[in-house]
Amino acid sequence: MDEHSSDVDNPPQGSSDPTDPPLANAAPGTGTTELAQLRRELDEKNDRYLRAVAEMDNAKRRAQRERDEYVRYANESVLRDLLPALDNLGRALEAARAGTTDAGVLEGVALIQRDMLKALERHGLERYSAVGMPFDPTRHEAIARVISAEHPENTVVSETMPGYLLNGRVLRPAMVAVSSRAGDEPS
85, 112 Cβ separation under 8 angstroms: yes
**Residue 173: Cβ within 10 Å count:** 19
Going from N- to C-terminal start, the domains of the chain cover 22-74, 75-123, 124-187
Q: Determine the topology of domain 124-187 in CATH.
A: Nucleotide Exchange Factor Grpe; Chain A, domain 2 (2.30.22)
Query: Which residue stretches of the chain are H helix?
Result: 3-9, 30-72, 76-97, 102-121
Q: How far apart are CA 120 and CA 78, in angstroms?
A: 7
Q: How far apart are CA 116 and CA 112, in angstroms?
A: 6
Q: How far, in Å, are 34, 68, 81, 119, 171 from residue 77 at the CA level?
A: 64, 17, 6, 10, 19
> Is 90's pLDDT higher than 70?
yes
Three-state secondary structure call for residue 71:
helix
State pLDDT tens for residues 96-138. Answer: 777 766 777 788 788 888 888 888 888 888 989 889 999 999 9
Question: Residue 16 CA to chain centroid, in angstroms?
Answer: 58
- Residue scoring higher pLDDT (61 or 17): 61
pTM over 0.75: no
- Averaged pLDDT for residues 157-163: 92
- Tell me the sheet residues that pair with 142: 176
Q: For residue 71, name the pLDDT band (cuts at 50, 70, 90).
A: confident
In what side-by-side order are the strands of the sheet with 125-128?
A: 125-128, 163-166, 169-172
Q: For residue 29, name the pLDDT band (cuts at 50, 70, 90).
A: low
78, 119 Cβ separation under 8 angstroms: yes
- Averaged pLDDT for residues 59-75: 89
